[in-house]
Amino acid sequence: MKATIVTIGDEILIGQIVDTNSAFIAKSLDRIGIEIDEMISISDNKQDILDAFLSLQNNVDLVIVTGGLGPTKDDITKKTFCDYFEDKLVVNQEVLAHVTQLIEGFYKRPITQINKDQALVPSKCTVLHNQVGTAPGMWMKKEGTVFISLPGVPFEMKYLVENEIVPKVIKEFDRPYIIHKTILTYGQGESLVAERIEGWEDNLPDFIKLAYLPSPGSVRLRLSARGVDKEKLETAIDEEVRSLNAIIHDIIVGFDEEETIEVVIGKLLKKENKTISTAESCTGGAIASILASVPGASNYFKGSVVSYATETKIDVLGISESLINEFSVVSAEVVSAMALSVKKKMKTDYAIATTGNAGPTKGDENAEIGTVFIALATPNEVIVEEYNFGQPREKVIDRAVIKSLELLRKEILKNVL
């Protein structure tokens, strides 16, 4: 089965909002064996919507449309559906009762005609009940294609996808199985990883595809298998992952999409009953933010000092002014002192510290733009690494964060083993 996701709204086309709905819908459909053929965004224009529907008719099995179901005049999706399906709008009494209860019972205000108009739906559609909002979903079929209309409000869209669309699609369509397995690697670039696994990749079965998903400092390898025998697919994927692990086990940090390096670090710290703190200058608290984003991080992450200014390093971390004057704020000596200070103040087992010149200008520092010093204070020593991550500024900060987490993970594993 193939599907196309269509987002309607000028606000998306002009960059006023980011389309996160399509990503959620795509993941939800992929899990039940439906291949996303394409994602398109179109304006709030009746003819544009009709043209899109006509081009998709009988070329895909499902068309999922989001947006344009609000109560105002610029929301035209329902009327456009009626034009395309040669239908008319009628009041759905169940939807009207729900909208009335929501407005008068929950919001405690009189219902207006605009609110009541939310209960207008095409007479031929199957209504998808929206328990968490006023705009119902609509399911309509024309020849070989099912058209589904959803509200653009993310939490309403998610409710309808999970509770109405997915169960209905599973019930009404025969679908293949699609199995994905993601392997997360850190520390080597895409080209180097590809060279190391070239022989393994060349011998993958025809029904298993490999995709490289690179980001600064890391590469996700996604294996995808498609077929009708779920057990066969899962067994084949597991065998290939074991073979891959034997080749690049030194850079693999996780085996699931959600098993990011910060999640892995959190699991290691909790398992070893160890704690971590950070003292950040050039990274501006980004490392702390990532560590704290993991549920349960309070078990091992004790806090951070964002010592962006030199006086903060002196006044809060207690770094010697003479040390800074002698070696400069961007130096191995200063970053080492930062790590030791925050480790002592927070009473943690490990501490990460960063200092550097991220640019865009050199300023008063002697260090070249892109220079970053990272210190990792462990229970036994302080490890300091110097890097030059080049430019632009965002790249320097991102790579400094990733390299810091990579160094921390490797050191924890070293002590575990």
User: 13-20: which pairs have CB atoms within 8 A and are 24 or more residues apart?
Assistant: 13/41, 13/42, 13/43, 20/154
Is the per-residue pLDDT at 362 higher than 80? Answer: no
User: For residue range 13-72, what is the model confidence (pLDDT) as tens digits?
Assistant: 888 888 999 999 999 999 898 999 999 999 988 999 999 999 999 999 999 999 988 777
Is the per-residue pLDDT at 228 higher than 90? Answer: no
Q: Cα 204–207–211 angle (5° rounding)?
A: 65
Is the per-residue pLDDT at 417 higher than 60? Answer: no
Is the per-residue pLDDT at 219 higher than 80? Answer: yes
Sign, CA torsion 359/362/365/371: positive
Take residue 282 and report the two structure tokens written for it: 């050039």
Quick one: pLDDT band at residue 122, thresholds 50, 70, 90?
Answer: very high
| Angstrom distance (rounded) from CA 73 to CA 337 | 62
Quick one: pLDDT band at residue 188, thresholds 50, 70, 90?
Answer: confident
Q: What is the mean pLDDT of residues 293-301?
A: 96
Q: What is the CATH number of domain 2-172?
A: 3.40.980.10
The share of the chain scoring above pLDDT 90, in percent, equals 74
Is the per-residue pLDDT at 339 higher than 90? Answer: yes
User: Quick one: pLDDT at residue 365?
Assistant: 63
> Parallel, antiparallel, or unpaired for β 137-142 and 126-128?
antiparallel
User: Quick one: pLDDT at residue 257?
Assistant: 67
Q: What is the CATH number of domain 261-416?
A: 3.90.950.20
The share of the chain scoring above pLDDT 70, in percent, equals 98
User: For residue range 265-276, what is the model confidence (pLDDT) as tens digits?
Assistant: 999 999 999 999
Is the per-residue pLDDT at 364 higher than 70? Answer: no
HSE on the CB side for 135, CA within 13 Å? Answer: 22
Is the per-residue pLDDT at 413 higher than 90? Answer: no
Question: Between these two residues, 9 and 93, which has the higher pLDDT value?
Answer: 93
CB 281 within 8 A of CB 372: no
Is the per-residue pLDDT at 366 higher than 80? Answer: no
- Residue whose token pair is 């105002």: 72
User: For residue range 203-215, what is the model confidence (pLDDT) as tens digits?
Assistant: 999 999 999 998 8
- Residue whose token pair is 């070696």: 327
Q: What is the mean pLDDT of residues 236-260?
A: 89
User: Quick one: pLDDT at residue 88?
Assistant: 95
Quick one: pLDDT band at residue 233, thresholds 50, 70, 90?
Answer: very high
User: Quick one: pLDDT at residue 355?
Assistant: 96
Mark out the alpha helices in 36-175 (DSSP H runs): 46-56, 77-85, 93-100, 113-116, 154-160, 166-172
Q: What is the mean pLDDT of residues 320-335?
A: 95
Question: b/e per residue, 210-239, with b = 16+ CB within 10 A?
Answer: beeeeeebbbbbebbbeeeeeeebeebbee
Q: 227: which strand partners?
A: 177
The mean pLDDT of the chain is 92
Which of 203, 205, 202, 198 shows the shortest CA–CA distance to 236? 205
Take residue 73 and report the two structure tokens written for it: 């005049």
User: Quick one: pLDDT at residue 208?
Assistant: 95
Sign, CA torsion 57/58/60/65: positive
User: Quick one: pLDDT at residue 363?
Assistant: 58
The domain spans of the chain are 2-172, 178-254, 261-416
Q: What is the CATH number of domain 178-254?
A: 3.30.70.2860
Is the per-residue pLDDT at 172 higher than 60? Answer: yes
Is the per-residue pLDDT at 194 higher than 90? Answer: yes
State pTM to two decimals: 0.65
Q: 223: which strand partners?
A: 181, 210
